[in-house]
Amino acid sequence: MRFDIISVLPGLLESPFAHSILQRAQKKGLTEIVVHNLRDYSTSKHRNVDDYPYGGGSGMVMSVEPFARCIEKLKEEREYDEIIFMTPDGVTLNQSLANHLSDKKNIIILCGHYKGIDQRIRDIYVTREISIGDYVLSGGELPAAVLVDAIVRLVPGVLSDETSALSDSFQGELLDAPIYTRPADWKGYKVPAVLLSGNEAKIAEWRDEQALERTKERRPDLLK
């Protein structure tokens, strides 16, 4: 699976992909993540990528041309399943959308900045607009990193124990049950006895009950 991320601040995306699971996925050849500097596609002398908004108003708008040039170049090289724009007014990312996207082969992600991007990019190229939540960040880079992480960990072979992605909170309808590791007694705070019992059926039952309780308490909306 390949991601091409287009950004004015490519440096912001170096660290999130250079560690842990995302790094391993790339080393294993299971995913390729390429970040493109939007300024390399500017046609202006000063490598500008934005301009004043038509009709007035505050803030700058990211221009059509640099995005269009970068996208067209990428589309000449391979076919893309999706061109995604990260934006707070997009569809909110959830596990089912991440699952759906983890089946794709090639995805372009556009990161916006300033006031936003020229609507024509959205109309002409973008196939999907995704938000990571109801709050506004300074740009689309951190949302893009969140999206890529959520997708890549679902790609078969990326997690060493494939079932561990399947048992994540949200993968079923319920949140995860509480988990513990050694010591069994830390300063009088004890691990629930059932987990030390060795009785697999009882442990599974306890986990199901706990997951249901936690979901009722924290996310009753998931039970509807």
| 54 vs 135 by CB, closer to ligand ADE | 135
| 86 vs 151 by CB, closer to ligand ADE | 86
Nearest-approach distance from CB 134 to ligand ADE, in angstroms: 7
Nearest-approach distance from CB 146 to ligand ADE, in angstroms: 8
Nearest-approach distance from CB 87 to ligand ADE, in angstroms: 5
Rg (CA), the chain: 22
* Contacts with 204 (C-beta within 8 Å, 6 or more apart), sequence order: none
Nearest-approach distance from CB 136 to ligand ADE, in angstroms: 5
| 66 vs 90 by CB, closer to ligand ADE | 90
| 64 vs 137 by CB, closer to ligand ADE | 137
Nearest-approach distance from CB 113 to ligand ADE, in angstroms: 9
| 113 vs 153 by CB, closer to ligand ADE | 113
CB-side neighbour CA atoms (13 Å) of 28: 17
Q: Is the dihedral of CA 189, 194, 196, 197 positive or negative?
A: positive
| 135 vs 189 by CB, closer to ligand ADE | 135
* Contacts with 107 (C-beta within 8 Å, 6 or more apart), sequence order: 1, 2, 3, 4, 80, 81, 82, 83, 84, 101, 151
Nearest-approach distance from CB 120 to ligand ADE, in angstroms: 19
**Is-contact 14 117, C-beta < 8 A?**
no
Residue ranges that bind ligand ADE, judged by CB under 6 A: 86-88, 131-133, 135-137, 140, 143
Give residue number: closest CB to ligand ADE: 143
